[in-house]
Every structure is written in structure tokens, then in C-alpha cells.
Structure 1
Amino acid sequence: MTPFGEAATPFDERVEAVVAAMPELAGEVVRYGLAAAPVASPIHRATASDCVRLERRAGPPVFLKIRHPDCAADVSPVAAAAAAKAAAVGVGPNVTSAIDGALALDFLPEPWRYARVGDLQDGAVMAETMAAKKRLHESGTIGWRFDPFQRTRALATEAVAIHAPLPDDVDRLVEACALAGGAIEAAGVDLAFCHNDEVASNVMIGDGVQLVDFDLAGDNDRWFDVGALVNETCAFEAERWAAIELYAGRCDQRLYNRCRLYGAVDDVMWGLWGVVRAVASGRSGVEFYKYGTWRLSHARVTLAERGFEEWLRRL
């Protein structure tokens, strides 16, 4: 931990400048240190922001996120409000302070830890996670639309513009997402406040479950949250049906089809993100490209399933 006021690196200088700009924290922080190193593969966490643990003169530690400029497009304009809304409904840590580009929250100490995919494959943990998502969805919209299909198109356009090294079949994957978007729009969407980022590490487990990282939060189809989480966690059809039932109390073929489509779209969206950030980001040591190509590979398998056309037709 670095004593506050003894900045010796660019990272230290960033932290101290942000803390000084937060009235709730200025003059209160005595030391600080990296809370989570950025990793894109095999897990995906702490890539959009520096994550810092702040020790205060009085009171518990604070978790500070300082956004990286190269990931500014990966953070919604309502991210701070979304984190506060999640805290208000009891499914996320309290927000301590927020300024443009930085967010401070209550630090979740041990035994809290971020979840791995294997944790979410436990039925009890998955049930708690789905219940937390449902509380978000039932809390009322937040007023900013997150559209996974629009984000996928934008990332595909950016990838071409910066000459990112894309797989030969990426156009087919993007076209399949467009088909899914058209089918889902025709079937109808009811907007709800959604997390929109279903990577396992955005679930904290300890004394229950807490959701973190609301960088992409906004109003969306709740089944995107469910479908993307099922896609992240479940490898087999029976597991997918069971997970959807945990959320909805039932699972019919139409719900299953919608969730499968959303899972594939989430893969393509994050796959393109990884490939784009590998080229556009100046940071070395973060395996953006490896993560992106893995997600595109996963999407390729899903979209090649013989049930894909049936998913499109029965929504």
C-alpha cells in the first residue's frame, strides 16, 4: 500500500488526483493500492478501469474505479446512477462518491470474492444471482437504452475502420446477430433496468450475492441478462432450461429460444470488443485479442446449431 501524498508512479498520481477531486474522500484517504489487476483471459475483469483499494482515516475501505481513456466507449452515461440504483434495491455495494470517469463504492472484504463460472453452476448460487437480476429488472427503468445489436454493429464498423485482424467468417456472425435482432424486435421487447454484463466475475459471492460493474447498465430486454448469464454458465441444454426456470418459475420454448439468441449476440458483441480493444488500446499485457477470439469461437458454435433457424421463428 502506498501512503497518500507519496505518489511515485503514474498510477499513484492518477489515484491521488481522483481522490482529491472527490469531496467525500479528499483528506480522508491514508493509503491505497491496486485492488484487482486487469485480466481479459481466462477471466474478464478490471479491464475498463483501474481498481483501487483506499484505506481511510476512519471507516471501512473504499473500492475506487478510475476509467481508462481507451475504454471510455465501454461505459454508459448512467453507470454511476445504475450502481446507486442497484445498491438502493439491495443487490450492489453502496456508492460512496462519483465524478466523471471515477466511481467509489463500499469495499467488500473477505470472505467476499468474485465468482467463477464453476460457482455459478451451483444451483443455490445461480438461484441467488437470478433473484438479484430480477430485483434489478423490477426496480423500474433508468432512462438510457442499452441496445446490444446497435453495440455489435458499432464494434463491427470500428473493427473494419482500424483494420483489426478479424476471422474470415465475422461478417456471417454479425449478419446472424442482425437476423436475431430483427426477429426479437418483431416479437416485441419490454424494457427493464438491466445489468447487461453477465461475466461471472461481476457477481460477488460471500454472505449472499452482490452484483458489481454497472458500466454497461441501462434499459434493455430482461431476457438479454438472463440469456447472457445462461450462455456464460451453462454448457448443456438441460442446464439452460433449469437456469431460466430459476428466474421465471417456468421455461417454455419461446423463452428458451430468445435466451439462446441473446447468448450468441453477447458472444459476438464481446468478441468484437476484444479484437477492437487489442488494436485500439495502448495497454500491453492485457490479452484482449485472446478473449475476443475465444468469444467469437463460442458464438460460431452456437450460431451453427441446427436449432438456430427455429430460434428465430419461434419467439
Structure 2
Amino acid sequence: MSAAAPLEARVAAALARVPAWREAPPRFALAAAPVASPLHRGVASDCVRVEPEGGAPVFLKIRHPDMARDVVPWAAEAARKAASLGVGPRVVLDEDGLLGLDYLPEPWRYARLGDLQDPGVMAGILDAKKRLHADAPLGRRFCPFARLDALAAEAGAAGVVLPDGTERLVGVAGLIREAIRAAGLDLAFCHNDGVASNVMLDGAGVRLVDFDLAGDNDPWFDVGVLINEACAFEAEACAAVEHYAGRFEERLLNRCRLYGALDDLAWGLWGVTRAATSARTGIEFHKYGTWRLLHARTTLGARGFETWLRRL
């Protein structure tokens, strides 16, 4: 069903696709309003709380057709793996375009940027990511450079008018690709997501949600995009690297900085392209995209950029 249809109609049509709910449609309510800027939350799927009769509540994600290319085909498999490791909610439903998870009740809530700047919370998130990385690989490769290439190609095919200088930034990303390739990397099962709202907190623990981009990748990409989201000052970034690695090394921080810029660039292209191609014109895709591109431009134009490339 079109994303332009009313929410109630979209959810009812989705629930009717689940055999267990077809004859006794459960009650439902919006669980997360879609916001692209500044939260970047709930834009790939309608997120609803479903209350089956006699059953536990379910957090149901109903993917929008115009966002299908933004979700890896193995997202449910990745979410199940995270749940088995104790760092994600249990998957209770996996249908085409539908993903149901155990609903995390209060005091669970999604994290805000300010939460990530608390050293204890940041440490908990890094530990959760490290638990993913320590397990066996998923066997599904996620390459951030390939994603960037695909987004750039999509923008070109759609005739998207990009902010000035964006093509140059994409070219500079090629230097990062070559530097990482020369330095080498190990693959591990990664979340590949640094957005604050995809972390759930209850005051004592951490759960990771939204495995739409999960897959085997350099674990330092996970650390880098989280640092890029949360750390406004170098001292905070250094502390995060030290916590994850057990020591601080400049080359590790450099890798994180480069991955953060790459993530900014990819999400920037995503935002300005979705603003031109999505039917949901009420979501501020363009604002989010241009902000991420500005952040990428700032990092890639920093005086230390060439040094970071050389010291990986």
C-alpha cells in the first residue's frame, strides 16, 4: 500500500497479512512518529505497538516501499543474532516487509544525543557493540563504500540536484577507501548504525535496535559512527577508543574519524535523494541530508585529514 495512504489503512492492511491476526485483528497505536531531522527515527518503516488478544505487545515495523533499498535483505536474521547475544529485543515476527520485536515497556526509552554523552551510557553502548563483534560473523557483508557508491549512482539516475561540492566529497571518499584497504581490516558482525535513537535505555542496561544496515564489516566502523554521533570533543572520542580497545592509539582514532566522515557523506546523499524521490514530502529528508553533508565537508576539510589517511 502507498505510503501516502492513512496510517490506519496501512497498518490494517499489514496486520491482515499475518495469519494469526487475520481473524482477530489486534489493537494498535503509533509507537514512534517519523522524524528525519534531527532524530532520524522511524522513517524507513511505520512503527506501531500491536496488542494481540491474549498475547504480549509487539513492536511492529512496516517497511515503506520507497525505503526497501535502504534495508539489507538479512535485517531480520541480524536482529535475531543480536537478540541471541542479549543485546537486542527478540524477533517474534518476520514476514515480507514486516518485522515484529518484543515490545520494550517503560522504563525502556530510546536514547537522545545527550544520553550518549554520559560516559557510563557510552561505555554500555560500546560494550554492546563489542559483544556483537566478538561473536562469529553473520556471513553477510556490509561495505560502507559500496553503499556510498550505490547512493551516488541513485542520486545521479534520479537527477537529484546535489549541494555544491558534493561530487568532490564523493571523490575524496575514494582516498579513504584506498587508505583503509592498504591498512587492512578484519570483518566482524556489526550494527553499522550510530544513530542515538537506535539505542534503547532503561537506566541499567542497553539494547540495540534497527539492524537495517547490519552485516559483517570493520568493527571500527561501528565505533567510528558512534563517536561521530556522540562526541563533540576530542577527549571524549579518545576515551571511547580507549574503552573499546583497552588502550588509546592515534591510528584507531584516525580510522574512526574517517569512517565517521564516510557515514556522514552516505547519509547526506541518502537524505537529499529521498527528499527528491519519496512520496512522503512532510518528512524533512533534505534538511537532514544537507546537515550530514555539511558535517562530512567539515571533517574532510580538516587540517589533519591527510595525516589521518597516512596513519592508519
Place the TM-score, normalised by the shorter chain, in its bin.
Answer: over 0.9
Q: Does 1:176 align with 2:172?
A: yes
Cα displacement (A) at 1:144: 1.3
Alignment partner of 2:139: what SS?
Answer: coil
Instruction: State the match for 2:298 in structure 1.
Output: 301
1:159-198 matches, within 5 Å, as: 159-198=155-194
Q: How many positions carry a matched residue from both structures?
A: 307
1:128-143 matches, within 5 Å, as: 128-143=124-139
Cα displacement (A) at 1:79: 0.1
Cα displacement (A) at 1:29: 4.8
Question: Runs of 5+ in structure 1 lacking a partner?
Answer: 1-8
Opposite residue 112 of structure 2, the aligned amino acid is R
2:279 to 273, 278, 282: 282
1:122 to 114, 118, 123: 118
Instruction: State the match for 2:102 in structure 1.
Output: 106
Alignment partner of 1:71: what SS?
Answer: helix
Separation in 2, partners of 1:25, 1:88: 26
Instruction: State the match for 1:264 in structure 2.
Output: 261
Alignment partner of 1:21: what SS?
Answer: coil
Q: Is the 8 A contact 1:115 1:203 kept in 2?
A: yes
Separation in 1, partners of 2:74, 2:35: 24
Instruction: State the match for 1:88 in structure 2.
Output: 84
Opposite residue 149 of structure 2, the aligned amino acid is R
Separation in 1, partners of 2:54, 2:22: 13
Q: Is the 8 A contact 2:241 2:247 kept in 1?
A: yes
1:208 to 205, 210, 215: 205
Cα displacement (A) at 1:247: 1.2
Q: Give every structure 1 segment of 4 or more consecutive aligned residues whose post-TM-superposition deviation is greater than 3 Å.
A: 23-29
Cα displacement (A) at 1:202: 0.4
Alignment partner of 2:16: what SS?
Answer: helix
Separation in 1, partners of 2:175, 2:77: 32
Q: TM-score, normalised by structure 1?
A: 0.94
What do residues 107-130 of structure 1 show as CA deviations (whole Å, max 9, x unaligned)?
111111111111000000001000
Question: Runs of 5+ in structure 2 lacking a partner?
Answer: none
Separation in 2, partners of 1:246, 1:57: 45
Cα displacement (A) at 1:19: 2.4
Alignment partner of 1:193: what SS?
Answer: strand
Cα displacement (A) at 1:195: 0.6
What do residues 239-274 of structure 1 show as CA deviations (whole Å, max 9, x unaligned)?
110011121111201111111100000000000000
Instruction: State the match for 1:246 in structure 2.
Output: 243
Q: Is the 8 A contact 1:96 1:106 kept in 2?
A: yes
Q: TM-score, normalised by structure 2?
A: 0.95
User: Quick one: structure 1 residues 25 and 248, their matched pair in 2 at CA, closer, same or farther if it must change by over 3 Å?
Assistant: farther
What do residues 31-88 of structure 1 show as CA deviations (whole Å, max 9, x unaligned)?
1111111100011000000001101222321100010011111000110001111100
Q: Is the 8 A contact 1:126 1:243 kept in 2?
A: yes
Separation in 2, partners of 1:115, 1:303: 28
Separation in 2, partners of 1:114, 1:184: 33
- Alpha-carbon RMSD: 1.3
Alignment partner of 1:235: what SS?
Answer: coil
Cα displacement (A) at 1:235: 1.1
* Worse-matched range after superposition: 216-225 or 149-158: 149-158
Alignment partner of 2:153: what SS?
Answer: helix
Q: Does 1:291 align with 2:288?
A: yes
Instruction: State the match for 2:232 in structure 1.
Output: 235
What do residues 213-258 of structure 1 show as CA deviations (whole Å, max 9, x unaligned)?
0011111100000000000000111111001112111120111111
